[in-house]
Copies of this chain bind each other. A is one copy, B any other.
Amino acid sequence: MTNNNIISFEHVKIACKSCTLNSLCLPMGLDQGDVEKLDAIVRRGRPAHRGDHLFREGEGFRSLYVVKTGSVKTYIPSEDGGEQVLGFHLPGELIGLDAIDEERHHCSAKVLETSAICEVPFKRLEELSLTLPSLQHQMYRLLSKEISHETDMLALLGSRNAEERLASFLVSISDRLLRRGFSATDFYLSMSRNEIGSYLGLAVETVSRLFTRFHDEGRLKVERKHVELIDLDGLRTIVENSDHFVNKRKRAT
């Protein structure tokens, strides 16, 4: 307890076993002793800052990363500086799973705000998961969950209009923040309108107009990054009632 910086820095380096995220993250389902074995291979670095990269497209794959605090985006850059945003990652979420197959990163990961990140060397995680059945199981679950989540996004991009996309985005952020112990209705978005638009397959202007529309309809209050959801149920209704998939049939086949 020499000074505040050191105290807060130590706080960031908290071990898995006392991390509040351990029910969302890799340690889920592991008993005390096993968590310690996992702890032994996890690297906890200095806080990362806005704009830092965890990895870039094309780099060799060595580690998975877990957001402990803050947020990260993954995206595919194009030569001319454009980019396609693939996802936003909140505390407890694993990043880099798509690189296991070819041992090469297919996208870049950039920190959106000051964040604490855990690095998990994959080779060692893989070895450990051979000896810890519940860790292997959790790995399968986390990989599967990622597939599920992307599947949901495919359905979103394949068959929903702009309003439904933004509503779905807000509800998703809200749900994920709530699970992590934050407010479900009052939060700061760490990503720009541009990034939201890219993620949702919409132009920036459309995103901006929709925020304004939702505001005018009394569904939320928004002032730049700060969002306060007033009618979360209404937003959920927009998401759920949108059953107008493109290809309807007279009868099920």
Contact = CB atoms under 8 A, between A and B. Distances in A.
Interface of A: 51, 76-86, 97-102, 106-107, 126, 129-130, 133, 136-137, 139-148, 150-151, 153-155, 157-159, 194-195, 197-204, 243-253
B147 A80 contact: no
Contact of A126 (B79, B83, B101, B137): B137
Contacts of A248: 80-82
Contact of A77 (B147, B250, B252): B252
B136 A106 contact: no
22 contacts: A78-B243, A79-B243, A81-B250, A82-B244, A82-B245, A83-B245, A85-B247, A86-B151, A86-B154, A99-B144, A100-B143, A101-B144, A126-B136, A126-B137, A140-B143, A143-B143, A147-B147, A147-B150, A150-B154, A154-B157, A197-B247, A204-B247
Number of this chain's copies in the assembly equals: 2
Contacts of A253: 51, 81
A119 B34 CA distance: 32
Most buried by B among A79, A137, A144, A251: A144
Most buried by B among A77, A83, A133, A197: A83
A37 B136 CA distance: 19
A49 to B, nearest CB: 13
The 7 residue pairs across chains A and B that have the minimum distance between CB atoms: A100-B144, A82-B245, A157-B157, A143-B143, A150-B150, A101-B144, A82-B248
B198 A84 contact: no
A146 to B, nearest CB: 5
A155 B100 CA distance: 19
